[in-house]
Amino acid sequence: MNIKHKRILVIASSCSVLTMGGYAFIHQKTKKLNILILSTCSLRANRLGYASGKNTSPYIDKVAQKSFVFKNAFTDKSWSNVSGFLQKIPNSFVQKNGYTAIGNHGSETGLRKIDFSKNPKRYNGDFFLRLPGLNYQLSPIDYFDYSDDLKKIKERLLDTSKYPFYIEIHNKVMHLPYGNQFDKYHRPVRYLISPESVKYIQEYEANYLSTPDRLPFSFFLGNIGKNNVPQVLKVLNINEIQTKKMLNKLGVPFFVGMLNNKKVIERWKNTKYFSRDLEVIKEMYDYRLKMFDESLKDLINLYGNKDLVDNTVIIFTGDHGEAFFEHGLMIHGETVFDEMLNFPLFVKFPGQVKRLEINQQFFQAGIVNIAKKIMTGELNKENFNDKIKQNFSYPFIYSRTCSNDLRSIRYNNEWKYIIDLKKDKKYLYDLKKDPNESLDLLEQRPDISAFLEENYIMMSSVQKKGKLFHFCNDE
């Protein structure tokens, strides 16, 4: 097919799909199903057991094995928030379709949601970084016993007078610092992983001043305290003004700024410890994922309650991925590579008995339409796969960083085109042959580059006009 004709056809498809609610389904009278959305942050799709083959998430995997699993779901930036998209569903739409929102009440336009973030009744570690003129708490994470909250949620979900209900339960526990998060016995994760890795951590903690270039490792362990100030200042060589600027930048936590500071990262990467440090960090992340999975076992299995099991659709998803230096950045790095933009998504209908993979490229904003079309009865177990293929096509996904100086267009699981405005450079990756996005083909394929350049400009306009962005704090 001629590339120009191909572009016109795909743009027409993309524009029609990206208009919220603009689908011409044949309405079918079906039983209204409860909608339970389970979401979390910083969950890398390929570290879940059903994708990696590891035993990191057995309870999530068990449900995924009887679900529609989206293998190529992508968001528009590394700081995205699926709840931000779901808030596009107004209460009036929920009520009009006979649903009861059973989460916390928000604005008229907001989704009813329960948010596990910080509960003042729970223990928080003493986790501060003190610098001259500053006293900033580094996002302490609560320990992992949600028993009180889960009891309340269970009561709501089992109240059949509220059927069909609609709720999002969002859990933020996959955030940093991995090592300083606690299990229900108040034990930090850094001491719960393999004995070899625990010993490695303890040796570092006992002699951390002798290897100051490993400062980022301390952040993942969660043991940064006031005694580290000389080390921090020595390694970073930052003054109070620079520190405040880093703290205030788009609400980004201080440790994130440090972990994406090239000077700090390069010094760490040049140590002989870096490879082993990184493996320990991944081990702590996976252990935290296993704890998260354990906490969901009753909820994600709907308590084995027949009324819930027979009448509830589960949508399991995440905000975005997590980076482990695949392209030089850690955690929520300001990047547009797939390790940050790919997020987990599966949909489980009552009575499903096998897993069906959906391989087409899917955009995060489409979750809104999935939820809405389940509410109206237009999406069900029998037609879900066909309708997704026919009407939820996202051949182009435009992404960018909050600073807006790094942008990309992802085309049909085939190509990724990146524009770096700060460096005045462009890159092109063949996603089929080079899924790790390591070989730049910009000069070899000028035809594809020109095609994607034109569509990137078009799609940035389409997504912004359609409010199909998770907006940054300054937008």
pLDDT value at residue 402 = 78
CB 431, CB 417: distance < 8 Å: no
Q: Which long-range contacts (CB under 8 A, 24 or more apart) does 403-410 make?
A: 403/250, 403/334, 406/334, 406/335, 406/336, 407/336, 407/456, 407/460, 408/336, 408/456, 409/452, 409/455, 409/456, 409/459, 410/74, 410/341, 410/361
pLDDT value at residue 393 = 84
pLDDT value at residue 127 = 30
pLDDT in tens, 423-471: 999 999 999 999 999 999 999 999 999 999 988 888 877 766 655 655 5
CATH number of 19-393: 3.40.720.10
CA 83 from centroid of its chain's CA atoms: 11
213 or 313: which leads in pLDDT: 313
pLDDT at 132 over 50: no
CB 66, CB 353: distance < 8 Å: yes
pLDDT in tens, 246-287: 545 433 445 555 666 777 788 899 999 999 999 999 999 999
pLDDT in tens, 372-430: 999 999 999 999 999 999 998 899 999 988 778 889 999 999 999 999 998 999 999 99
pTM over 0.85: no
Q: Mean pLDDT for the chain?
A: 78
Whole-number percent of the chain with pLDDT over 90: 44
pLDDT at 295 over 90: no
pLDDT value at residue 111 = 38
Name the region of 222 (left: φ>0; alpha: ψ -120 to 50; beta: rest): left
Q: Which DSSP string do the residues of 304-342 spell out, in sequence order?
A: G-HHHHHHEEEEEEES---EESTTS-EES-S--SHHHHB
pLDDT value at residue 230 = 52
How many CA within 13 A on the CB side of residue 357? 5
Q: Which DSSP string do the residues of 248-308 spell out, in sequence order?
A: HGGG--HHHHHHT-HHHHHHHHTSTTHHHHHHHHHHHHHHHHHHHHHHHHHHHTGGG-HHH
pLDDT value at residue 347 = 98
